[in-house]
Copies of this chain bind each other. A is one copy, B any other.
């Protein structure tokens, strides 16, 4: 059993949630995708193996996986939520033409959170970069 796999099992055990076949299938679909699928895309992939799964189950599985820290969610306007197995802090860019999402490597903006905190009386809980552009394939 791989290290990540053991890590996932640990997170499930600690959380009290059970690693059901549906939740495993969602994880597998994420792993087999090219990185940042939507719930609908995951649903379609999962249905190929098990046609009885419901879309609502995929959403519920994703929310559990996020809660226990196995996956991250990313949001762009004009796009359904994307899910990411890479839970390290990193920056993703979305193509406004085809919807493809890729990571932008080597982005170091320091710790956004701590750089913004001195300038606001709010207690910052989240600070993220949302980046859009046109991917190489869509540049004509």
Classify chain A's interface size.
Answer: 35 or more
Instruction: Provide the residues of chain B in CB contact with A75, threshold 8 Å.
Output: 75, 77, 130
Contacts A122-B133, A125-B132, A126-B133 known; 5 new A-B pairs at CB < 8 A: A104-B119, A106-B119, A112-B129, A116-B129, A128-B131
When the two chains form their complex, are residues B127 and A130 in contact, meaning their CB atoms are under 8 A apart?
Answer: yes
Give the shortest distance, in Å, between A98 (CB) and chain B (any CB).
11
For A91, A102, A124, A131, the residue with the greatest tally of chain B CB atoms inside 10 Å of its CB is A131
Select which of B73, B125, B131 is within 8 A of A116 by beta carbon: B131
Interface positions of A (Cβ within 8 A of B): 73, 75, 77, 81, 91, 93, 95-96, 102, 104-107, 109, 112, 115-116, 119-136, 139
Are A104 and B81 closer than 8 Å at their CB atoms?
A: no
A128 cross-chain contacts in B, Cβ below 8 A:
129-131
Nearest-CB distance from A121 to chain B (Å)?
5
A135 nearest in chain B by CB position: B122
